[in-house]
């Protein structure tokens, strides 16, 4: 699907800011251009390494199999693609797709350096306007990327379109804490410590302040589940991790 060339006067959020819809993608791109080279190190530091467990659980829920065609959206530096590649094997393929060229380049270089070759393809593309034919993939994953998409409903519809009947979508994303008292602690960490960590490691406090704000603007667990159902997904469910700080949402495309 091609992106419409008309300009919109509607607004959306960029963190806590209200911005024109047609400017958000470039602003998000600026964030990830800035942090791409330190992205993996920052993930380890700000999650205390727990993001690896979140991703392992997400892949289990995704359920990739040998020979599958898997689309990893907002695949960034290749964490999921690296894990998916040996599962689908030489008869399968993983397409690592990201809208940001800097992140995609870091991901490609990283996976090549680690010997991940052959069944991983790299595509720069927008999750709202996926450049793939209908019913191309057995599985679609998007980890920590949906909250940055301008029109989430449009992206979910695109994911539904490119899945084969019987295919599965897995969304791993920061969400809303469900443990009493955790929200206040999480807010203190997000708005006081995280930007300082970003300044220290990536020399960029603003991008990590945006990260904290974008999480707060993202739909909660139940709302996102409803959005998936509106897009056509069935048998939807979600699983809270780390007290709801992160949630994994799963849905099936039962028919075309």
Q: Which domains does the chain have, with CATH numbers?
A: 11-178+211-253 (3.40.50.150)
Contact 237, 33 (CB under 8 A): no
Is the torsion defined by CA of 205, 179, 61, 232 positive or negative? negative
CA 122, 125, 131: angle at the middle one, nearest 5?
A: 95
Residue 155 in this model has a pLDDT that exceeds 90: yes
Spatial separation of the C-alpha atoms in residues 199 and 73, rounded to whole Å:
27
As a whole-number percent, the residues of the chain with pLDDT over 90 amount to 57
Tokens at 111, concatenated: 């996976």
Residue 120 in this model has a pLDDT that exceeds 70: yes
Residue 256 in this model has a pLDDT that exceeds 70: no
What are the tens digits of pLDDT across the range 197-235? 778 777 777 877 888 888 888 999 999 999 999 999 999
Check residue 192 and give its pLDDT.
85
pLDDT bucket at 38, cuts 50 / 70 / 90: low
Of 209, 250, 223, which Cα lies nearest the Cα of 15? 209
Residue labelled with tokens 């998916």: 84
**38 dihedral zone (left: phi>0; alpha: psi -120 to 50; beta):** alpha
Check residue 255 and give its pLDDT.
78
What are the tens digits of pLDDT across the range 55-112? 999 999 999 999 999 999 999 889 999 999 999 999 999 999 999 888 899 889 999 9
């Amino acid at each position: 699907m091609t992106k419409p060339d008309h300009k919109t006067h509607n607004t959306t959020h960029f963190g806590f800011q209200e911005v024109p819809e047609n400017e958000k993608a470039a602003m998000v791109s600026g964030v990830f251009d800035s942090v791409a080279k330190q992205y993996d190190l920052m993930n380890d530091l700000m999650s205390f390494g727990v993001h690896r467990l979140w991703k392992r659980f997400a892949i289990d829920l995704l359920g990739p199999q040998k020979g599958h065609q898997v689309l990893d959206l907002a695949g960034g530096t290749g964490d999921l693609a690296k894990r998916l590649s040996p599962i689908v094997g030489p008869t399968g393929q993983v397409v690592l797709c990201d809208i940001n060229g800097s992140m995609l380049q870091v991901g490609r270089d990283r996976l090549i350096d680690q010997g991940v070759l052959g069944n991983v393809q790299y595509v720069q593309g927008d999750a709202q306007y996926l450049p793939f034919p209908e019913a191309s993939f057995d599985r679609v994953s998007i980890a920590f990327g949906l909250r940055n998409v301008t029109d989430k409903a449009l992206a979910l519809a695109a994911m539904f379109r490119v899945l084969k009947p019987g295919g599965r979508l897995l969304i791993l994303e920061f969400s809303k804490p469900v443990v009493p008292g955790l929200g206040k602690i999480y807010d203190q960490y997000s708005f006081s410590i995280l930007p300082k960590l970003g300044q220290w490691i990536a020399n960029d406090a603003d991008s990590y302040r945006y990260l904290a704000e974008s999480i707060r603007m993202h739909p909660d667990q139940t709302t996102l589940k409803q959005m998936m159902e509106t897009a056509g997904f069935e048998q939807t469910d979600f699983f809270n991790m780390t007290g709801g700080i992160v949630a994994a949402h799963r849905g099936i495309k039962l028919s075309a």
